[in-house]
Structure 1
Amino acid sequence: MTWSPSEPYNALPLLPPNAEIETKAVLRDTIRARAALASLNEAAKRMPNPLVLVNSISLLEAQASSEIENIVTTTDDLFRYAHDPAAAASPDTKETLSYRAALFAGLEIIARRPLSASTAIEVCTTIHRREMDVRTLPGTYIGNPATHEAIYTPPVGEGVIRDKLSNWSEYLHRDDEIDPLVRMAISHYQFEAIHPFEDGNGRTGRILNVLYLVQAGLLDAPILYLSRYIIRNKNDYYRLLLAVTQDGAWEDWVRFMLRGLEQTAQETLGKIDEIQSLQEAVRQEIRDLTTAGRNSDLLDVLFENPYARIANVIDRCGVSRPTAASWLNALVAGGVLRDLRLGRDRLFINARFLDILARSTPPPRSAEVLF
């Protein structure tokens, strides 16, 4: 059957692809991506409090992945409402926080059982905060944003979709010599081509990428911020996905994803260095400006979330409210923190940390690949 953008692609080939995937160029890029990921994983493990990175990167990934689907929130709002999503957050902020919740739910799932189609369904359900299952009705297609003409129409029929998801799941655990990073790229294309849900396929697929890397033992925690790379290269991302469907252009697609893994890991390594330097500066400022002395719990409060409340310090540091307030007020007076009124609450903002998290760094030149 010849592929047509306006016809359901029920003939989507099963995995593995009938093509040479691990070319010399792909293998070279795989080595570089694996080295970058290994360096990132080791650097994160050496952090005294890895939650500093896990909490922040998971939120930034949620923000970027949601933005790809035109669900837009600010970094400021995202961190402000991270521990209180039921408050006055915008619908887009709540939707983005649901993505982070889905990522952590997925981690709990793969700790109990291997990644599978049911994992994808549970992740998509958490994103939408309602029960989701595979599509049962026709009519879903991906359209040109300007003309609304079909660019791609995924398979239809519940049985067809479930069969292809089953094949996708089996491929994830296939016992062959394909590198896990290459397998992730291939399976990501396949999941997006199956497009199993009425909505949320892109976000679910990007969470599954991170879950797969954790399950494969390449990451100990969800500290990969791949969606920023996809936003930077959004046109190429969709162009190369479609090129696999149209022309079987697997090499360019796999290399694109490998480059993203390498760049993302290198950029996150840079953020770790900046965060640790700032932590040392703030540690000294705490000693100079407050009576907290060497209380490392206070430092953790200020870096596990850039927005801290007096109650957070009370709970974490085991001190009275007056003591917690005096510490935070002293840090505000010294220019270490900023404070903000939010209704009856008062937030203390680690603005320098927030700036490190929000700042976009240019991609490393050494990772450039031309197609």
Structure 2
Amino acid sequence: MTTPPPLLPLPPPVDLETVPVLKALAAANRGLAELKGRAATIPNPRILIDTLTLQEARASSAIENIVTTQDELFRAGLATGSSASAEAKEVARYREVLVLGFERLRARQGVLSNGSLIEMFQRLKQSDAGFRQIPGTVLKNEATGEVVHTPPQDAQEIRDHMTALERFLNDDALCPLDPLIKMALIHHQFETIHPFYDGNGRIGRILNVLYLTRTGLLDLPILYLSRTINQTKDDYYRLLRAVRREGAWEAWVLYLLGAVAETAQVTLGLVEGLRQQMADVKQRLRAELPRIYSQDLLNNLFRHPYTRAAFLASDLGASRITAARYLDRLAERGFVEKLRAGRNTYYIHTRLVRHFVEASGE
């Protein structure tokens, strides 16, 4: 095994405020500011958390060749037992981990700790492992088998590097660079340390969006960043390697800033589509089904593109019989489509699902 190259502390000793970087930075920050403002117009933040984090989970998992359709993904949210595919369960677990990380971030007053990262990894992999203890991890080119990176091997060295990264993440006084530039540095450093035996890519991409909320660039972890990374996967891995081999930090930072700017616009479109659909459905419900209309009912339809009587009963504080009656009324009026699978009945918000399908390019 080759000896790992020395891992330099952050920030690297290069100029990261070049004219191209500053131009890209302005565009990315504008996009995030617009997204943050538009997201604030959605009345219940759980609508965005429950739907957009699922899209991020799907795209990030696809980078690791864990592929699901929108239908499989939404069905996994309904499923009991083992009826969901292994891939859909894996993606759903990623979403759980992203939400867990956001909850820990809020509970710890904006601190992203190594303890939280380990907890997230354990949930993702259904494991009680922590940072790597045993040497032997290398990163290879899947096509050729060539070793492209040998991360730190010694357990104490890994802990030391992660302690330094934890401080860089949370101590804003350490580095005056813009948070988006720092996010690019943090992501590369985490990938280079590769602290876990598996799942580093997915945890690292969750770390991106959590860092945006920690720094206040977003209020909610809703940036659909992995979509753009998945579409440019070859560039993503090539530029990661170029930093290690050539110190090509500017190209890496420009890539991630461009991905943020592009993804902010895509996510903005998803949020705006949700907002418009909510307004339309609200108007129709009030006109056509005024006796059952409530804001909680409306929120349920947009939190759960595939819903069940049990979900609605919980959100309304009503019985399942009442919830089922409401959903049947909604189906009769064309708000949702009623389907049966064995003994189970569920309801699809078809127009909302189509919105996500079109955005994902299926």
Structure 2 match to 1:365: none
Q: 1:127 to 1:85 in 2, by over 3 A?
A: farther
Structure 2 match to 1:3: none
| Structure 1 residues 143-167: Cα deviation after superposition (integer angstroms, max 9, x where no partner) | 1112212111112111111111122
Structure 1 match to 2:25: 30
Structure 2 match to 1:165: 162
Answer whether contact 2:336 2:348 (CA < 8 A) is retained. Answer: yes
The answer to whether residue 115 in structure 2 is matched with residue 118 in structure 1 is yes
Q: Which one of the candidate residues 45, 48, 51 is aligned to 1:50?
A: 45
The answer to whether residue 152 in structure 2 is matched with residue 155 in structure 1 is yes
Q: 1:291 to 1:320 in 2, by over 3 A?
A: farther
Shift of 1:104: 1.7
> Secondary structure at 2:359's aligned position in 1?
coil
Structure 2 match to 1:107: 102
Matching residue's letter, 1:71? I
Answer whether contact 2:270 2:359 (CA < 8 A) is retained. Answer: no
Worse-matched range after superposition: 15-24 or 133-142: 133-142
Matching residue's letter, 1:146? A
Shift of 1:136: 2.1
Identity %: 42
> Secondary structure at 2:346's aligned position in 1?
strand
> Secondary structure at 1:11's aligned position in 2?
coil
Answer whether contact 1:328 1:348 (CA < 8 A) is retained. Answer: yes
The answer to whether residue 61 in structure 2 is matched with residue 62 in structure 1 is no
Matching residue's letter, 2:42? M
| Structure 1 residues 200-257: Cα deviation after superposition (integer angstroms, max 9, x where no partner) | 1001101111111111111111111111111011000001100101111111100111
Shift of 1:294: 3.9
Once residues 188 and 201 of structure 1 are traced to their aligned partners in structure 2, the CA distance between those partners, rounded to angstroms, is: 10
Matching residue's letter, 1:73? T
Shift of 1:283: 2.1
| TM-score normalised over the length of structure 2 | 0.92
Structure 2 match to 1:75: 70
The ranges of structure 1 where at least 4 consecutive aligned residues each deviate by more than 6 angstroms after the TM superposition are none
Once residues 352 and 340 of structure 2 are traced to their aligned partners in structure 1, the CA distance between those partners, rounded to angstroms, is: 19
> Secondary structure at 1:223's aligned position in 2?
coil
Matching residue's letter, 2:45? P
Structure 2 match to 1:183: 182
Once residues 308 and 88 of structure 2 are traced to their aligned partners in structure 1, the CA distance between those partners, rounded to angstroms, is: 20
Matching residue's letter, 2:291? A
Once residues 230 and 210 of structure 1 are traced to their aligned partners in structure 2, the CA distance between those partners, rounded to angstroms, is: 13
Worse-matched range after superposition: 108-117 or 300-309: 108-117
Structure 1 match to 2:327: 328
Matching residue's letter, 1:360? A
Shift of 1:354: 1.0
Structure 1: stretches of 5+ with no match in the other structure:
1-5, 363-371
Q: 1:240 to 1:347 in 2, by over 3 A?
A: same
Worse-matched range after superposition: 215-224 or 283-292: 283-292
Once residues 156 and 256 of structure 1 are traced to their aligned partners in structure 2, the CA distance between those partners, rounded to angstroms, is: 28
Structure 2 match to 1:305: 304
Structure 2 match to 1:350: 349
Once residues 152 and 176 of structure 2 are traced to their aligned partners in structure 1, the CA distance between those partners, rounded to angstroms, is: 29
Shift of 1:316: 2.8
Once residues 71 and 100 of structure 1 are traced to their aligned partners in structure 2, the CA distance between those partners, rounded to angstroms, is: 14
Structure 2 match to 1:138: 135
Matching residue's letter, 2:131? V
1:260-339 superposed matches below 5 A: 260-292=259-291, 294-319=293-318, 321=320, 323-339=322-338
Shift of 1:319: 4.8
> Secondary structure at 2:192's aligned position in 1?
helix
The answer to whether residue 133 in structure 2 is matched with residue 127 in structure 1 is no
Shift of 1:84: 4.7
Shift of 1:83: 5.4
> Secondary structure at 1:348's aligned position in 2?
strand
Shift of 1:301: 1.2
Once residues 359 and 197 of structure 1 are traced to their aligned partners in structure 2, the CA distance between those partners, rounded to angstroms, is: 35
Once residues 104 and 114 of structure 2 are traced to their aligned partners in structure 1, the CA distance between those partners, rounded to angstroms, is: 12
Q: 1:318 to 1:292 in 2, by over 3 A?
A: farther
Structure 1 match to 2:11: 16
Answer whether contact 1:309 1:346 (CA < 8 A) is retained. Answer: yes
> Secondary structure at 1:341's aligned position in 2?
strand
RMSD: 2.0
Answer whether contact 1:285 1:336 (CA < 8 A) is retained. Answer: no
The number of aligned residues is 357
Shift of 1:81: 2.3
> Secondary structure at 2:10's aligned position in 1?
coil
Shift of 1:340: 1.6
Answer whether contact 2:78 2:306 (CA < 8 A) is retained. Answer: no
Answer whether contact 1:62 1:99 (CA < 8 A) is retained. Answer: yes
Once residues 141 and 297 of structure 1 are traced to their aligned partners in structure 2, the CA distance between those partners, rounded to angstroms, is: 50
Once residues 219 and 255 of structure 1 are traced to their aligned partners in structure 2, the CA distance between those partners, rounded to angstroms, is: 20
Answer whether contact 1:142 1:151 (CA < 8 A) is retained. Answer: yes
| TM-score normalised over the length of structure 1 | 0.90
